[in-house]
């Protein structure tokens, strides 16, 4: 088969020769109609080229004027009978390439069971043989026996399939005798198209396409869907000869030879002016036309709703390639300067910059206005990613945020708009949801602020549902351990304060003693004053008066276990080896015949003795004075 370029050239040459034959053989009949001669002659020439035998010749044989002339003359006679029935009987083309009977006399009756027809039918597949029988029973008035018996065996199956496609029940309704100028119903228009498609009529009646575009649209729709059997978009790729072969040559001529305009009449919703065709001059100067084209591309061709445009842009679905494949290259290049973003911005004014641009200019994020846009853009990314608020409750929130923004090429929004401060960003998007230490590492210097320290401790207690008076219990149960502080982002606070108990004491000064808030090192008990403080406090907590310490020891109320539960395990067990009585004596809350020194239980270093020297001296001076006072009293009593 010749190439498409050769076929197109042959078609043009054949059309010129057909015009010559019309002028030579049919000019008298054309002029007799009284209409526009040039228009009528061109319609006839197009119809001649669109006959089956001419189309077969074009696609199979290189152009040769002498070879083509007999076929064109035969086709011209058939078209002439169709266009000018008043000069000849109404004629329907045969089902084969056999010459038509040119006589106006009625065809002789022949039996449908002729030997040629039986032999041809015997070679048919079963379904076509059944259809042929049905056709002979129901369409005897429309198909002559002479024409049926003249069918070539090798073309019979093809012709029957064509008939079955357009008349599946085997019944062929007669065409109306009403003038073509009259108003036609949709069914009447389609019936004419069925006759032409089934090759029962060599062409559409004279003037069929000259009255209104409605006829053209209905006929085109039927022939493309039922005979060409292609989608409107696929039909755009067909050449001119394909439509001429469907009998649409005159209609195509009235559309300026534009396949796009022809199909737009039959498929106004699917075929747009820019599809496979050059738009009229000045078409893109209208803003409405530009917007319609871009919206058609996005919503119909690509199937993207307006709310999904941003995602499609970043996924490179709406791209220069999409415009090119849709036939909108000229629009994108000459109107929008190759900028897909500008095209979208004009057609969808509600879109934000990051929904139009794959990469938003960094100048967008500068200044106060840029900061607001940054927050809006980042919030949009979070919604596109389906990210929940709880996903940001980590000190690595900046990493989570950057990871999401990188996929959308919006890292600059976070870097410039918020200086990568995750707390500032999240507090802008989700006000009063996070504390600084939850989503970022708070610098150690920041913990010098007493208000920040107090807020952090109060927040931690609230998060763990710990009441203030239950803080010691929570510490003993591990709810406020150093690991908990670190996991909650408060490790900087611990480094600043030094320990949990100092952190709590800073917020609640004097509310708790040291041993309530954690283990006390042995070195803490170097001073006798610390031992006395612990002893007096424990007696107060146990409800024991100083005068009844001995009774409490005897009754088992004041025991090592009781003191351990109060947080004094280090003192009573490590220092005094469980000897509560000695502890009370060292503390000076339990009378003793002799003074009990602390060094007996705690091996003090030199610096320890210096630290507790003042209390030791005071105790010795007080004891010495008591002995002197007792001697004077006895001496006075003796002499008296």
Q: Lowest-confidence range among 93-97, 331-335, 551-555?
A: 93-97
Q: Confidence band (pLDDT; 50, 70, 90) for 639?
A: confident
Number of H helices, E strands in the chain: 38, 0
Q: What is the mean pLDDT of residues 493-510?
A: 88
Burial call 318-343: b when 16+ CB within 10 Å, e when fewer:
beeebbeebbbeebbeebbeeebbeb
Q: What is the mean pLDDT of residues 251-270?
A: 90
Residue 352 has pLDDT above 50, yes or no: yes
* Encoded tokens for 88: 């000849």
Q: Lowest-confidence range among 38-52, 358-372, 374-388?
A: 38-52
Q: How is 25-73 classified by DSSP, letter by letter?
A: IIHHHHHHT-S-HHHHHHHHHHHHHTSHHHHHHHHHS---HHHHHHHHH
Determine the 3-state secondary structure of 488 from DSSP.
coil
Residue 555: exposure state from Cβ atoms within 10 A (0-12, 13-18, ≥19): exposed
Q: Confidence band (pLDDT; 50, 70, 90) for 192?
A: very high
The Cα–Cα gap between 368 and 240 comes to: 60
More confident of the two residues 189 and 37: 189
Q: Is-contact 539 587, C-beta < 8 A?
A: no
The domain boundary residue, chosen from 356, 372, 399: 356
pTM: 0.63
Considering the domain boundaries, does residue 501 fall inside one?
yes
The Cα–Cα gap between 119 and 317 comes to: 59
* Encoded tokens for 381: 């990314």
Residue whose pair of structure tokens reads 């035998």 in the numeric block: 53
* Encoded tokens for 284: 């893109």
Q: Lowest-confidence range among 92-106, 135-149, 473-487, 542-556?
A: 92-106
Q: Lowest-confidence range among 225-234, 260-269, 483-492, 513-522?
A: 513-522
CA dihedral 426, 428, 429, 432 (to 10 degrees): 80
> Do 423 and 456 sit in the same domain of this protein?
no
User: What's the pLDDT tens digit per position in 591-633?
Assistant: 876 666 666 666 554 555 555 555 556 667 777 888 888 888 8
Considering the domain boundaries, does residue 135 fall inside one?
no
> Do 245 and 368 sit in the same domain of this protein?
no
The pLDDT of residue 505 is 87
Q: Is-contact 480 466, C-beta < 8 A?
A: yes
Residue 59 has pLDDT above 80, yes or no: yes
Rg of the Cα trace of the chain?
A: 52
235-to-86, 191, 273 alpha-carbon distances in Å:
36, 22, 14
Q: For the packed helices 367-385 and 422-429, what is the interaxial angle rounded to 10 degrees?
A: 80
- Residue of 237, 304, 223, 303 lying closest to 267 (CA atoms): 223
Q: What is the mean pLDDT of residues 282-296?
A: 94
* Encoded tokens for 134: 């049905």
Residue 147 has pLDDT above 80, yes or no: no
> Do 72 and 196 sit in the same domain of this protein?
yes
The pLDDT of residue 93 is 39
Which parts of 296-434 fold into alpha helices (H)? 309-314, 320-325, 329-330, 340-347, 353-356, 367-385, 397-406, 411-417, 422-429
The Cα–Cα gap between 142 and 148 comes to: 11
The pLDDT of residue 611 is 52
Considering the domain boundaries, does residue 434 fall inside one?
yes
32-to-27, 29, 86, 87, 385 alpha-carbon distances in Å:
8, 5, 11, 11, 75
Tell me the pLDDT of the chain averaged across its residues.
Answer: 84
> Do 45 and 190 sit in the same domain of this protein?
yes
Residue 210 has pLDDT above 50, yes or no: yes
> Do 529 and 502 sit in the same domain of this protein?
no
3-state secondary structure 207-257: CCCCCCHHHHHHHHHHHHHHHHCCCHHHHCCCCHHHHHCCCCHHHHHHCCC
Q: Is-contact 553 581, C-beta < 8 A?
A: yes
The domain boundary residue, chosen from 439, 469, 498: 439
Considering the domain boundaries, does residue 569 fall inside one?
yes
> Do 260 and 287 sit in the same domain of this protein?
no
Tally of CB atoms within 10 A around 542: 15
- Residue of 505, 500, 474, 501 lying closest to 485 (CA atoms): 500
Considering the domain boundaries, does residue 46 fall inside one?
yes
Q: Lowest-confidence range among 148-162, 258-272, 482-496?
A: 148-162
User: What's the pLDDT tens digit per position in 425-449?
Assistant: 999 999 989 999 999 888 888 999 9
The pLDDT of residue 90 is 37
Considering the domain boundaries, does residue 451 fall inside one?
yes
The pLDDT of residue 521 is 77
- Residue 44: what are its φ and ψ, rounded to 5°? -65, -45
Residue 134 has pLDDT above 90, yes or no: no
Q: What percent of the chain has pLDDT over 90?
A: 40
> Do 44 and 175 sit in the same domain of this protein?
yes
> Do 309 and 373 sit in the same domain of this protein?
no
Considering the domain boundaries, does residue 581 fall inside one?
yes
The domain boundary residue, chosen from 383, 418, 439: 439
Residue 114 has pLDDT above 60, yes or no: no
> Do 340 and 260 sit in the same domain of this protein?
no
Q: Is-contact 56 107, C-beta < 8 A?
A: no
* Encoded tokens for 26: 């049919």
∠ CA 236-238-244, nearest 5°, is: 110
> Do 73 and 202 sit in the same domain of this protein?
yes
The pLDDT of residue 477 is 84
Q: Is-contact 108 229, C-beta < 8 A?
A: no
> Do 423 and 373 sit in the same domain of this protein?
yes
Q: Lowest-confidence range among 293-307, 362-376, 526-540?
A: 526-540
Considering the domain boundaries, does residue 113 fall inside one?
no
User: What's the pLDDT tens digit per position in 336-348?
Assistant: 999 999 999 999 9
> Do 328 and 402 sit in the same domain of this protein?
no
Q: What is the mean pLDDT of residues 344-359?
A: 94
Q: How many CA atoms lie within 13 A of 165 on its CB side?
A: 22
Residue 226's domain spans which residues? 1-91+171-271
User: What's the pLDDT tens digit per position in 535-585?
Assistant: 999 999 889 998 888 889 999 899 999 988 888 888 888 888 888 888 888
| Terminal Cα-to-Cα distance of the chain (whole angstroms) | 157
Tally of CB atoms within 10 A around 637: 8
Total domains in the fold of the chain: 5
Residue 112 has pLDDT above 70, yes or no: no
The Cα–Cα gap between 524 and 531 comes to: 9
Residue 469 Cα to chain centre, angstroms: 53
Q: Confidence band (pLDDT; 50, 70, 90) for 291?
A: very high
Q: Lowest-confidence range among 134-148, 351-365, 518-532?
A: 134-148
């Amino acid at each position: 088969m010749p190439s498409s370029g050769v076929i197109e050239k042959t078609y043009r040459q054949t059309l010129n020769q057909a015009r010559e034959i019309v002028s030579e053989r049919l000019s008298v009949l054309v002029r007799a109609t009284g209409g526009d001669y040039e228009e009528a002659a061109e319609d006839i020439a197009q119809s001649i080229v669109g006959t089956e035998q001419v189309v077969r010749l074009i696609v199979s044989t290189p152009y040769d004027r002498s070879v083509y002339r007999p076929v064109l003359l035969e086709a011209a006679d058939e078209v002439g009978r169709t266009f000018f029935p008043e000069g000849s009987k109404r004629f329907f083309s045969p089902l084969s390439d056999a010459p038509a009977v040119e006589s106006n006399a009625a065809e002789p009756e022949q039996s449908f069971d002729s030997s040629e027809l039986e032999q041809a039918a015997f070679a048919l597949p079963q379904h076509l043989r059944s259809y042929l029988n049905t056709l002979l029973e129901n369409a005897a008035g429309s198909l002559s026996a002479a024409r049926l018996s003249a069918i070539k065996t090798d073309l019979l199956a093809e012709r029957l399939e064509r008939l079955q496609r357009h008349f599946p029940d085997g019944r062929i309704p007669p065409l109306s005798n009403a003038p073509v100028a009259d108003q036609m119903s949709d069914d009447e228009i389609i019936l004419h198209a069925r006759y032409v498609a089934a090759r029962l009529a060599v062409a559409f009646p004279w003037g069929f396409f000259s009255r209104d575009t409605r006829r053209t649209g209905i006929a085109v729709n039927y022939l493309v869907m039922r005979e060409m059997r292609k989608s409107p978009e696929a039909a755009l790729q067909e050449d001119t000869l394909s439509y001429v072969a469907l009998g649409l040559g005159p209609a195509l001529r009235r559309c300026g030879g534009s396949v796009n305009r022809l199909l737009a009449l039959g498929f106004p919703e699917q075929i747009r002016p820019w599809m496979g065709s050059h738009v009229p001059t000045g078409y893109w100067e209208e803003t409405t036309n530009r917007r319609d084209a871009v919206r058609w591309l996005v919503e119909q061709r690509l199937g993207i709703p307006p709310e999904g445009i941003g995602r499609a842009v970043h996924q490179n679905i709406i791209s220069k390639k999409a415009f090119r494949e849709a036939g909108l290259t000229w629009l994108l290049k000459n109107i929008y300067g190759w900028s897909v973003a500008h095209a979208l911005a004009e057609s969808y004014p509600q879109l934000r910059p990051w929904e139009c641009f794959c990469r938003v200019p960094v100048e967008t994020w500068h200044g106060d206005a840029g900061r607001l846009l940054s927050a809006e853009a980042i919030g949009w990314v979070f919604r596109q990613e389906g990210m929940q608020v709880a996903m940001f409750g980590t000190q690595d929130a900046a990493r989570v945020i950057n990871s999401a923004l990188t996929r959308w090429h919006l890292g600059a929004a976070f870097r410039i708009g918020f200086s990568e401060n995750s707390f500032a960003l999240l507090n802008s998007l989700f006000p009063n949801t996070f504390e600084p230490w939850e989503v970022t590492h708070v610098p150690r210097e920041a913990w010098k602020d007493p208000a920040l320290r107090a807020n952090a401790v109060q927040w931690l207690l609230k998060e763990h549902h710990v009441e203030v008076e239950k803080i010691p219990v929570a510490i003993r149960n591990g709810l406020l351990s150093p690991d908990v502080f670190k996991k909650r982002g408060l490790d900087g606070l611990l480094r600043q304060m030094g320990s949990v108990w100092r952190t709590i004491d800073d917020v609640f000064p004097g509310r708790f003693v040291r041993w309530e808030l954690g283990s006390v090192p042995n070195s803490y008990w170097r001073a006798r004053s610390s031992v006395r403080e612990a002893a007096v406090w424990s007696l107060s907590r146990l409800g024991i008066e100083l005068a009844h310490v001995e009774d409490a020891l005897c009754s088992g109320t004041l025991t090592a276990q009781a003191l351990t539960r109060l947080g004094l395990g280090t003192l009573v067990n490590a220092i005094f080896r469980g000897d509560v009585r000695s502890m009370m004596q060292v503390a000076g809350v339990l009378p003793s015949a002799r003074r009990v020194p602390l060094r007996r239980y705690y091996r003090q270093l030199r610096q320890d003795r210096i630290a507790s020297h003042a209390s030791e001296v005071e105790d010795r001076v007080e004891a010495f004075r008591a002995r002197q006072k007792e001697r004077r009293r006895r001496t006075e009593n003796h002499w008296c």
